[in-house]
Amino acid sequence: MESALQQRRPGAPAALGAATVAEAFRITARERADEVAIRTKADAFTITWGQLRERVDALAAGLAELGVGRGQAVALMLSNRPEFHLCDVAAMMLGATPFSIYNSYAPEQIRYLVTDAGAKVLICEQQYLPQVQAAREELPGLEHVIVVDGELAEGTLALADVEAAAADFDVEASVAALRGSDVLTLIYTSGTTGPPKGVELIHRNLLAAVEGLEELIEFPRDGRVISWLPAAHIAERNAHHYLPIVFGLQITCCDDPRQVLSYLPEVRPSWFFAVPRIWEKLKSGLEAMIAGQPQDQRERTRAALDAAVRKVRLEQRGEAVPDELAKQVAEADAEIFAGLREMLGLDRVEAINVGAAPTPVEVLEFFHAIGLPLAELWGMSETCGAGAVNPKDRIKIGTVGPAAPGVELKLDSDGEVLVKSEVVMAGYRNLPDQTKQSFADDGWLRTGDIGEFDEDGYLKIVDRKKELIINAAGKNMSPANIEATLKSASPLIGQACCIGDGRPYNTALIVLDADFAPVWASSQGIDGNSLAELARDERVRAAVEAAVQSANHKLARVEQIKKFTLLEEDWLPSGDELTPTMKLKRKPIAAKYAAEIDAMYAS
């Protein structure tokens, strides 16, 4: 195999020198043959790297028998289960391009992606088979549907049969023929501004992203991660699939993302990445637990938190921490915070990160205070999720950090963030014109994000270029930052959408948090468990009103929310209002709630 193993840094994983991710897998599987690669909770299922390689090779041969070869796309519609890693890597061994479909997608959406990618093989699990079969009726090019579990439906193949029926196939020769410029995967954008675009990422892109992380995080030999995000999202593929392949990290599969926090104490991950909403819920849960403590203990914990937050703020401003305060926080860390970290299962993390949307400063300060230096990072599908990241020992709260290793950043004349790096995509599949438009004349990728740099080169993301609010008076505002401030004002607020473009003032559509609101209501003696019932209750509305006013105190006058509508429903990923990655679908929201929005401006 061709590789650059001789160029790797001393002590770094040997697979870092690989020319392709496929080669990296062969190296890791050989060096860690007897170590567990993938497991499920309580070790209900485990497989070593050596066993995984044997199954990967068998499945690769079986897929080759079905006609899968270099450059061909293979669609995957799987939850976070061991078979995802098996199938993805098996296709990779052939030089094929495995890509994932969001599990919530309807038949029409599945048809679009399979057609655009040109996939002739789709691998799914039983629970998604109805959508796949419905989509297949209008997919004459989809030759094979492989099911990983349950009973076979007519016209489908069992994964076990494909794995077992293969003839001899030289996997090593297949991998040796691959190049870093071969397409590794497709990441389909969430489609907030039109049909999803297939971001083509080559092997070299992902290896460059992984090499950048190696400079920031020193993973231990027994490093662990939890696979729980959608595999169709770059964060999941990078953090919990490609990174473990190169570093030999142990993967624990969490097939229900709502349960991920319950996995932390068992896994005790080395790295944990989550979107802001997870950290907001974790903070709310800890605060609720503290509120339920006996009075003396509660007052002691709150005093310790207040002191720790003061210390964090002084350090962030670069000011000296008084000895007495430092001693108080050190004692609190030993007596209180260490126990909290152990209880959460985050006592062995090398790094913890948050991204994909603005994170309220209060949330970041809270975790820093209890000894968990939560750091924001920024990236996009087009950059393998890499772009900027706060180094764990030099975190600046409120920024996404300086450029990641191997990445160059600069601002265009209008403040748009531009990127140049080996992590930048090859282009959009079947869209040469849009690919060309996404790059400036000098080769820099246009990200669509507006940013600012501070004096130390740390980047602050203002908002998406196309989502900035320009009110009737011509003032520019970031709706995402306003929404983050609203959500941080009370755990009652699950979602918020700021309205104000071309309007005289800002308003908001607010959705109650489906987990917290019923619990809070019960503690207040309020009957009713449905969000509709709670949204109509005057006491709930009063609490939300107080939260909005609290948020307004933290916003500039022009940004403040003058009126809001408390909706009697929930917003779910892949629904009318949210993408699968929980980004707001602003145009569909504006259309669906036009009457409610107009009513807030009627007077």
* 346 falls within a domain: no
Euclidean distance between CA atoms 244 and 247, whole angstroms: 5
* 279 falls within a domain: no
Global pTM reads: 0.85
Task: Give the per-residue pLDDT at 6.
Answer: 38
Q: Tell me the β-bridge partners of 403.
A: 388
- 252, 274, 296 — which closes off a domain? 274
Contacts of 591 (CB under 8 A, 6+ apart): none
Task: Give the per-residue pLDDT at 471.
Answer: 81
Task: Give the per-residue pLDDT at 7.
Answer: 47
* 426 falls within a domain: no
Specify the DSSP class assigned to residue 18: B
How buried is 390 (Cβ within 10 angstroms: 0-12 exposed, 13-18 middle, 19+ buried)?
buried
Residue type, 589: I
What size, in residues, is the chain? 603
Specify the CATH number for the domain of residue 510.
Answer: 3.30.300.30
Domain that holds residue 569: 469-601
When divided into structural domains, the chain yields a total of 2
Task: Give the per-residue pLDDT at 11.
Answer: 65
Write the CA distances from 193 to 312, 433, 450, 466, 587, integer angstroms: 39, 16, 17, 9, 8
Is residue 422 within 8 Å of residue 405, measured between CB atoms?
no
Write the CA distances from 43 to 251, 271, 342, 445, integer angstroms: 11, 20, 21, 43
> Residue 592: which H helix or E strand, with range?
helix 586-592
* 434 falls within a domain: no
Task: Give the per-residue pLDDT at 556.
Answer: 82
* 194 falls within a domain: no
* 98 falls within a domain: yes
- 274, 298, 322 — which closes off a domain? 274
What DSSP string runs through 55-110?
HHHHHHHHHHHTT--TT-EEEEE--SSHHHHHHHHHHHHTT-EEEE--TT--HHHH
- 274, 296, 323 — which closes off a domain? 274
Sheet holding 46-48, edge to edge: 46-48, 36-40, 250-253, 224-227
* 578 falls within a domain: yes
Task: Give the per-residue pLDDT at 10.
Answer: 58
List of the chain residues with pLDDT < 50: 1-7
Euclidean distance between CA atoms 536 and 396, whole angstroms: 41
Place of tokens 């950090």: 401
Specify the CATH number for the domain of residue 160.
Answer: 3.40.50.12780
* 436 falls within a domain: no
Euclidean distance between CA atoms 346 and 279, whole angstroms: 12
Euclidean distance between CA atoms 64 and 476, whole angstroms: 55
Task: Give the per-residue pLDDT at 193.
Answer: 57
Write the CA distances from 520 to 283, 418, 463, 542, 576, integer angstroms: 15, 44, 32, 13, 27
Q: Angle at CA 266, nearest 5°, toward 264 and 270?
A: 55
Residue type, 601: Y
> Two tokens at 436?
């060309």
